[in-house]
Amino acid sequence: MYPDKFEDVMYAFHRLPGVGMKTAERYAYEVMNWEPEVLDQFLKALNGIKKVKRCKICGNLSDQDICSICSDDHRNHAQICVVANSKDISAIENMQSYDGTYHVLNGVINTAKGILPDQLNIDSLMNRIDGTVNEVILALDPNIEGETTSLYLSKLLEDKVEVSQLASGIPVGSHLEYADRRTLARAFEGRRKSKSE
Ligand SMILES: [Zn+2]
């Protein structure tokens, strides 16, 4: 059996998604063999995550109260692109053709998992619709949860602001964050006004 402190490290790695006990054991051996400076850098980086917060406006990850996108005057603040997670912002930013702002819901409606609208960043989105915004682009994954959330938001927003949705092109059931740049750019350009009947 391993010393308690070694096991603590194994269990710490085991908390990560996709890391089983065998892999966790390997990682623990690995870090044990690191030079002290390397280990210190690793711990410093990990500890720094406590300082990463959510932007007070859009919910994106940020070092500051307001993220670099929301505080950028060169971006078009009249456009808000709604995404499920911060990861999706990187995918859209990589496309290099969208210059509006974002809003991170921090998930999608998923009744099977008990995720309901009131657990998502929807109130803060509604607060942003104050007359200065002229388009909300719904950029959620093309799967059942994404569609359900888009429909919910369209109904909530349609009387207040123009709502559009990404054109199809991103394969159904796939994730926005994995869509290649050209497919995503096409889906953006071809976005259509959403009207719920
Ligand atoms: Zn922000």
User: Any idea what the CATH number is for the domain that residue 187 is in?
Assistant: 3.40.1360.10
106 shares its domain with 182: yes
Tell me the pLDDT band of 174, cut-offs 50, 70 and 90. Answer: low
Question: 100 in a domain, yes or no?
Answer: yes
Question: 63 in a domain, yes or no?
Answer: no
Q: Which of 115-119, 135-139, 157-161, 177-181 has the lowest mean pLDDT?
A: 177-181
Question: How far away, in angstroms, is 70 Cα from ligand 1 center?
Answer: 4
* Higher-confidence position of 136 and 166: 136
pLDDT at 44: 96
Question: How far away, in angstroms, is 176 Cα from ligand 1 center?
Answer: 20
pLDDT mean over 61-85? 96
pLDDT at 195: 61
pLDDT at 197: 47
33 shares its domain with 83: no
pLDDT at 116: 93
80 shares its domain with 157: yes
Q: Using alpha carbons only, what angle is made at residue 163 by residues 161 and 165, rounded to the nearest 5 degrees?
A: 170
157 shares its domain with 122: yes
pLDDT mean over 104-113? 94
- Cα(125)–Cα(136) distance, rounded to whole angstroms? 10
pLDDT at 176: 76
Tell me the pLDDT band of 181, cut-offs 50, 70 and 90. Answer: confident
Question: How far away, in angstroms, is 41 Cα from ligand 1 center?
Answer: 28
Question: For 125-163, b where at least 16 C-beta lie within 10 A, e where not — what string?
Answer: beebeeeebebbbbbbbbeebbbbbbebbbebbeeebeb
Question: How far away, in angstroms, is 139 Cα from ligand 1 center?
Answer: 16
114 shares its domain with 184: yes
124 shares its domain with 40: no
CATH of the domain at 47: 1.10.8.420
Question: 115 in a domain, yes or no?
Answer: yes
Question: 64 in a domain, yes or no?
Answer: no
Mean pLDDT of the chain: 91
Those residues whose beta carbon sits under 5 angstroms from the ion ligand 1 are 55, 57-58, 60, 67, 70
81 shares its domain with 47: no
Tell me the pLDDT band of 180, cut-offs 50, 70 and 90. Answer: confident
Residues of the chain above pLDDT 90, percent: 76
- Cα(4)–Cα(90) distance, rounded to whole angstroms? 40
Which domain, by its residues, includes 161? 75-193
97 shares its domain with 8: no
pLDDT at 68: 96
86 shares its domain with 36: no
